[in-house]
Homo-oligomer: A and B are copies of this chain.
């Protein structure tokens, strides 16, 4: 339903206020005549769809340091109360989550202060599954961005650019952290690539792995340059393979706790 609703809403937003209200009045008259009927869900009529880019998570979800990222303690139990809720202990950088500029800067933008206009934006997906299958520490390089633009057109300013390395499908396996050699091994961005994206005024980058930098990074060059530059990142994205390289709009449901350096987020896309 949602996508068709978006279609209708966007159509409305493109009308002048006057014509919108005139149209609404006519619609209202017809609806009132029909009584309190339920409008037909519109999704069935639409070509679009919603894709959830968020992994469900609990204490077993893989983390960078290998420790549980969330702990549960009952705050109110259902039995005897008729309702229930959890007291949660959450390390901010757990699950599908945001890295705010403040994560890697002393006084950068907190997750609560990200501009809402950066949280609903075009999503550009760079597929590096082929080279990631050959090299687990493969990186998105400038050449990958150039190839993407050649195939798909310019990257709109304010976009989110996400790496699809195929890692999202490994999330329930030890292959996600991939420490068989004693060190983390998974794909990420190269600093040369994120420098290029900064020059294109991209607002955020996303990865389907545990870190913006590849698993074998010794210097966290992307974290230490991209985030202090006032831009943000998203880690552990899911289902990127269900979207086209371009054409989707991403909704980045960043948490809004004050002074947050990031946190578990709800990320979805409409295409």
List the interface of chain A (C-beta within 8 A of B).
1-3, 5-7, 9-10, 12-14, 20, 24, 27-28, 30-32, 34, 36-43, 46-48, 50-52, 54-58, 70, 72, 75, 78, 82-93, 95-96, 102-106, 112-113, 116-117, 119-122, 145-146, 149-158, 196, 200-201, 223-224, 246-249, 251-268, 270-271
Interface of A is mostly: mixed
Name the B residues within 8 Å of A196 (CB-CB): 36
Task: Judge whether A253 and B270 touch: CB under 8 Å.
Answer: no
Query: How many copies of the chain does the oligomer comprise?
Result: 2
Name the B residues within 8 Å of A85 (CB-CB): 91-93, 103, 261-262
Name the B residues within 8 Å of A41 (CB-CB): 156-158, 201
Q: What are the 9 tightest A-B residue pairs by CB atom distance, in nearest-first order?
A: A253-B253, A253-B266, A2-B120, A13-B48, A31-B153, A58-B258, A39-B156, A39-B154, A52-B116
Task: Judge whether B156 and A259 touch: CB under 8 Å.
Answer: no
Task: Judge whether B88 and A92 touch: CB under 8 Å.
Answer: yes
User: Which listed residue, B91, B119, B252, B255, touches A75 by the CB 8 Å rule?
Assistant: B91
